[in-house]
Structure 1
Amino acid sequence: MPSPSSVDPRLLRAFVAVAEELHFTRAATRLYIAQQALSRDVRRLERDLGTELFLRTTRQVALTPDGERLLPLARRVLQAQDDLLAAFGQARPLLVDLNSPGLGTGRRVLERARALAPDCELMARYESGLTGAAAEMIAGRLDASFGRFAGLDPALRAALDHQPVRHEPMAVILPEAHPLAAREAVPLAALAGETVYAGAGNPRTPEWTDLAGLLFEGRGIRIAPPAPLAVGEEEFQRLMAKTGHPVLAVVGFPALPGTVVRPLVDPVPLSPVSLVWRRGLAHPALDALRSAAARLTAEEGWLRRPPGGWIPAVDDVTGLSHD
């Protein structure tokens, strides 16, 4: 590989994104740029270095030997640049996965963090599911997320840190025509004999499906079998209309057209939500995010459990009080 006089870090970021995704469209989405612009940046880097970095066909993208050689070097250069900027108060944006636009806990923490640290850039992502986000955090493509930490595989937990934020009351989304939709709240016993969708088969959310299994155990409630992953509100509505299954959710989740959201009671099941980040990550915006989470937890009493509140024993590690 010829020695260039200099390399633009922006071009290295484009290269690393494509090298990790092995897909130009996904890499462009990840970088929030047009695919044509990404392709131009990669071609320019190849021209500057005097070598091909990718083998491109109509079906796949693969690294060349020079691409394989460049990848660890590019990662080190970009990390050094991030460290330099952070040292002088110019930290890169902190990438925070909120899982879904409909989930309010992470969004409120992010909004408070932005108010606490207006000079820091915190960028939201909506990728859905802590297990999926955990892999991205470990790979360095994402910095923080929210979800059920105890539900992660131990190998993932070992590479991450977390801060309990909320025990969030759970709910069920029902089609408007469902017999239980007329109730203000749905006792768990009323779901006996029902089949409830809880994300089974979604590789990004096994921690949620596991929580549903623990909640439904011994109550006569079945988890709906895996279905094709519904991406987007329209597809999710179509899936609900086709199956008629209730959907496990949390109380703040907005109702979709043709559905209602009803809290679950007797007992009140609680979804444990932690702020999760890559172990060893140092970033001023992460400090703001942790501070925002701690303040909201204290102000809102998010970790207090209502009388009779249910939480899996594996998640109940805080020893917190009941209301």
Structure 2
Amino acid sequence: MPRDLDPRLLRAFVAVADELHFTRAAARLYVAQQALSRDIRRLERDLGAELFVRTTRQVTLTGDGERLLPYARVVLQAQDELLAAASGASRPLLVDLNTEGMASGRVLARARELAPDCELMARFQSGLTGAAAEIVAGRLDVSFGRLAGLEPAVRALLSHQPVRFEPMAVLLPQDHPLAGRERIPLNALAGETVYAGAGNPATREWTDLARRLFAGRGITIAPPAPVAIGFEEFRRVMAKTRTPVLAVVDFPAMPDTVLRPIVDPVPLSPVSMVWRKGIVHPGVDALRAAAADLAGQEGWLERDANAWLPEGDMSLMGDNN
């Protein structure tokens, strides 16, 4: 028997013992089922004991599995306490939201329900590019947005989890010629100048997505302008300039404007949850569980084959780590 056991193997053991189902346990641990099965076999070899009886219909604990399970729980609890003490996991977790009420805000609300003892504090950086720089610097913990819009060197420092393919929309003055339509075909925006955050260093990933969407379609991105800070200031500037704004379908309502989904094709904004690699905090676990729960319930990661999405974004959205 080895002198030391890998705690990861013990976590696999406890997860399968709790679920009595390898597929559910793998989803809980965010690993592939094959990897989980390998970990269980390795732990059984290390302990010299069979822990589970597996059939095509069910998974049950063996006598040795039942006897060793309480000890595994004690070891993992001690490890969690040690890591929490080292990482300051009792501190508030700083969570960046682009705007209240959107997908990221709903994930935060659900995470607060799942982990009521955690202090999950909202911050508003308004852009993943800006938030990612704060995360890498240690001044922020978690954010949401388009991962593919970040520089590869920055992405290498972050972990991520796909959250949603969010349909895009356009915010229009209520007397705009297109405002009377329930949906706006993308080609109907030809000849329009649309605001997409150009010049804002914190939202480069969004401006890049707009450029890719508008390329070859006769749609112009509004030139850089001073960034409006705060909802009321944004509303005031929009009322003054009367420039359509590229948004998403959950963008909050604003006076004197209408929000219309874009169609033919439906463009998607890929949203991931991102956090600093190596961070250990129960709030991160709660946010990940909340995001997976909402995505599963509401089909956030389902997409029509005819929807528009850059290829590079698709590959990253399928790459959990």
Normalising by structure 2, report the TM-score.
0.71
Cα separation, partners in 2 of 1:220 and 1:114, compared to 1, 3 Å: same
- Give the match for residue 206 of structure 2: 208
Amino acid in the other structure paired with 1:201: G
Amino acid in the other structure paired with 1:314: G
- Paired residues for 1:3-82 under 5 Å: none
Cα distance, 1:84 vs. partner?
7.3
Amino acid in the other structure paired with 2:157: A
- The 8 Å contact of residues 97 and 142 in structure 1, kept in 2 or not, is answered as yes
SS at structure 2 position matched to 1:219: coil
SS at structure 1 position matched to 2:130: helix
Match status 1:98 vs 2:64: no
- Give the match for residue 252 of structure 1: 250
Q: Which moved more, 1:270-279 or 1:231-240?
A: 231-240
Cα distance, 1:301 vs. partner?
1.0
Distance (whole Å) between structure 2 residues aligned to residue 208 and residue 189 of structure 1: 20
Amino acid in the other structure paired with 2:99: S
Q: 1:268 aligns with which of 256, 266, 274?
A: 266
Cα distance, 1:231 vs. partner?
1.0
Cα distance, 1:286 vs. partner?
0.5
Normalising by structure 1, report the TM-score.
0.70
Cα separation, partners in 2 of 1:309 and 1:178, compared to 1, 3 Å: same
Q: Structure 1: which 5+ residue stretches go unaligned?
A: 1-81
- Give the match for residue 309 of structure 1: 307
Cα distance, 1:279 vs. partner?
0.9
Q: 1:236 aligns with which of 230, 234, 237?
A: 234
- The 8 Å contact of residues 84 and 281 in structure 2, kept in 1 or not, is answered as no
Cα distance, 1:122 vs. partner?
0.7
Cα separation, partners in 2 of 1:254 and 1:209, compared to 1, 3 Å: same
Q: Which moved more, 1:172-181 or 1:111-120?
A: 111-120
Cα distance, 1:88 vs. partner?
11
Distance (whole Å) between structure 2 residues aligned to residue 85 and residue 251 of structure 1: 38
Q: Which moved more, 1:83-92 or 1:305-314?
A: 83-92
SS at structure 1 position matched to 2:202: coil
Amino acid in the other structure paired with 2:264: D
Cα distance, 1:233 vs. partner?
2.3
Could you say what the CA RMSD is over the residues aligned between the two structures, in angstroms? 2.0
Cα separation, partners in 2 of 1:161 and 1:210, compared to 1, 3 Å: same
- Give the match for residue 156 of structure 1: 154
SS at structure 2 position matched to 1:214: helix
Q: Which moved more, 1:238-247 or 1:142-151?
A: 238-247
- Give the match for residue 180 of structure 2: 182
Cα distance, 1:111 vs. partner?
1.1
Distance (whole Å) between structure 1 residues aligned to residue 165 and residue 173 of structure 2: 26
- The 8 Å contact of residues 272 and 317 in structure 2, kept in 1 or not, is answered as no
Deviation string, structure 1 residues 112-149 (Cα, Å, up to 9, x no partner): 11111111111111121001100110111110000000
SS at structure 1 position matched to 2:125: coil
Distance (whole Å) between structure 2 residues aligned to residue 283 and residue 157 of structure 1: 20
Cα separation, partners in 2 of 1:180 and 1:93, compared to 1, 3 Å: same
Deviation string, structure 1 residues 197-242 (Cα, Å, up to 9, x no partner): 0000001000000000000011110100001111122321232223
Distance (whole Å) between structure 1 residues aligned to residue 114 and residue 209 of structure 2: 33
Cα distance, 1:104 vs. partner?
1.2
* Higher RCO, 1 vs 2 (CA within 8 Å, ≥6 residues apart): 2
SS at structure 2 position matched to 1:242: helix
Distance (whole Å) between structure 1 residues aligned to residue 124 and residue 317 of structure 2: 31
